[in-house]
């Protein structure tokens, strides 16, 4: 009998103009970052064109790395998002969730409190993972904070054991 493939998660974090993504596999106790990057739609695109571009980009990542789950980091419930940039981020996050669903994958999403709960910790401790750049043996110090958030949401979606 062959060994089962490890669970692989595509973690995503969006801002108003870019997505940050990480492919993570293993378990929450022993996560491994397989690949990570960011992607920005061309600046000449309309909002609708950019959303389509982000959807296509996520499909390419899914096709290349074959994750089992897509996990999207959402803003905090208390986030003050009255501006156009915040609304753009929300639209992108909706497209990211739909892109995973369209490929037949489970889609997890949540703000930091939800992510912390999945990790079996408190939001304050999950925030410390982001601030310190040390997440259960992963050195995240060379990554931008937004990319760290993509890794964190992916790790939270891995099996505990």
Output the pTM of the full model.
0.92
pLDDT at 89 over 50: yes
DSSP string, 41-75: --TTS-HHHHHHHHHHHHHHHHHHH--SEEEEEPP
Query: In what helix (H) or strand (E) does residue 150 lie, and over which residues does it extend?
Result: helix 145-156
pLDDT band at 5 (very low <50, low <70, confident <90, very high): low
What are 18-69's pLDDT values in tens digits?
Answer: 999 999 999 999 999 999 999 999 999 999 999 999 999 999 999 999 999 9
Q: How far apart are CA 46 and CA 54, in angstroms?
A: 12
| Residue 152 CA: distances (Å) to CA of 19, 52, 62, 104, 130 | 15, 26, 18, 22, 8
Nearest residue to 68 (alpha-carbon basis) of 95, 97, 107, 39: 107
The enclosing domain of 26 has a CATH number of: 3.30.420.10
Please state the domain count of the chain.
Answer: 1
2 in a structural domain: no
Read off the pLDDT band of 2 (50, 70, 90).
very low
Q: What is the pLDDT at residue 113?
A: 92
**If pLDDT is split at 50, 70 and 90, which confidence band does 161 have?**
confident
Which ranges of 66-103 would DSSP assign to H, the alpha helix?
Answer: 84-102
79 pLDDT more than 90: no
SS3 93: helix
Domain that holds residue 81: 8-156
């Amino acid at each position: 009998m062959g060994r089962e493939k490890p669970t692989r998660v595509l973690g995503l974090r969006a801002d108003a103009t870019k997505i940050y993504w990480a492919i993570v596999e293993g378990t929450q106790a022993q996560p491994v970052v397989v690949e990570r990057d960011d992607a920005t739609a061309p600046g000449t695109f309309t909002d609708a064109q950019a959303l389509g571009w982000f959807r296509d980009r996520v499909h390419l990542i899914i096709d290349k790395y074959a994750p089992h789950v897509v996990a999207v980091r959402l803003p905090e419930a208390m986030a003050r998002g009255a501006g156009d940039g915040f609304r753009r981020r929300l639209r992108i996050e909706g497209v990211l969730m739909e892109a995973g669903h369209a490929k037949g994958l489970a889609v997890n999403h949540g703000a930091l409190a939800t992510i912390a709960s999945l990790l079996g910790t408190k939001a304050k401790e999950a925030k410390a993972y982001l601030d310190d750049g040390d997440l259960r043996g992963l050195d995240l110090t060379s990554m931008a904070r937004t990319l760290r958030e993509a890794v964190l949401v992916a790790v939270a979606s891995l099996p505990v054991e």
